[in-house]
Amino acid sequence: MIPPLTAAVVQLSSQDDVTKNLERVRDLSLVARDQGAELIALPENFAFMGEEEKKREIAEEISGSGEIMTTLKSTAIALGTWVVAGGMPEKSEDRARPYNTSVLVSPTGEVVATYRKIHLFDVDVPGAGPLTESAATKAGSEASVTEVRGVLLGMTVCYDVRFPELFTKLALAGARVVTVPAAFTLMTGKDHWHVLLRARAIENEVFVIAAAQAGKHPRNRHTYGKSMIVDPWGDVVAQCSDGEGFAIARLDFAAQDRVRALLPCLSHRRIGV
């Protein structure tokens, strides 16, 4: 039997100062750890939200020793926790278009998995103006599932949540937990955030861990927040309120097994992915 895992979602209101953003990551992660978190999830753009040219300048190699990766590794080691950080700007072969990458760091500071955001947000949102992520971000192409303390974890980023086939692919690969770091717009978040996350959890009978940005950011961006953890039955078992903070929940895998036995949807699937 797989023992329960205590997870926390950290909610930030990141700005364009990388050092200050990373200080908030460390501070909130410490408090979450002290309340029992063994896995800490950070939102999309946790290290930087601002002008695209500066994002290009701060893009790092995941295997390198830049400020972002150094902080993630040192935080995981100092706290003795797993850290799911995403997305962050990762250098690509196209200098103008770094990847938007989620990184999984072990308690020993090892990068054990990465996921490059596949679905890029090219949408003209009323009240937010056109957002063309592909103009300054290179899309990834591969799904990612890896083991965290005996549990398989799948990784996604933000807009991916609107594409159920990715989540099904992760679940069929054995994922029990799927992370969704996000910076959802206020406009779309208020109507779709809860619905989409609960649907992905119910469809695939997985825990969904969704850390989000909240508040006002440079470039007139406003994000919805409401970071949450959803269980395989679709219940929201932990949620942040407004502003920065965190929410924490115990992931009970025995309860997940009961849900999957009651409704064996994954084994009943007839259409492939």
Q: How far apart are CA 73 and CA 61, in angstroms?
A: 14
Question: Is 158 a known active-site residue?
Answer: yes
Residue 189 belongs to a domain:
yes
* Domain membership of residue 84 as a residue range: 5-268
Residue 273 belongs to a domain:
no
- Low-confidence stretches of the chain (pLDDT beneath 50): none
Q: Tell me, what's the pLDDT at 127? A: 65
Q: Please report, for the domain that includes residue 45, its CATH number.
A: 3.60.110.10
Residue 164 belongs to a domain:
yes
Question: Is 165 a known active-site residue?
Answer: no
**What are the angstrom distances between the C-alpha of 101 and each of 70, 76, 236, 258?**
15, 18, 26, 33
Which residue in the list 117, 133, 138, 226 is annotated as catalytic? 117
Question: Is 60 a known active-site residue?
Answer: no
Query: In sequence order, what E strands does 118-266 have?
Result: 122-125, 129-132, 145-148, 151-155, 177-179, 207-210, 214-217, 221-224, 228-230, 236-239, 245-251
Which residue in the list 44, 90, 205, 244 is annotated as catalytic? 44
202-214 b/e (C-beta count within 10 Å ≥ 16 → b): bbbbbbbbbbbbb
Q: Tell me, what's the pLDDT at 262? A: 97
User: How confident is the model over 125-134, as pLDDT tens digits?
Assistant: 776 668 899 9
User: How confident is the model over 189-232, as pLDDT tens digits?
Assistant: 999 999 999 999 999 999 999 999 999 999 999 999 999 999 99
Which residue in the list 158, 205, 226, 244 is annotated as catalytic? 158
How many domains are there within the chain? 1
Q: Tell me, what's the pLDDT at 125? A: 73
Whose CA is closest to 127, among 49, 188, 182, 183?
188
Helix (H, G, I), strand (E, B) or coil at 132: strand
Q: Tell me, what's the pLDDT at 95? A: 94
Q: Residue 238 pairs with which residues in a beta bridge?
A: 229
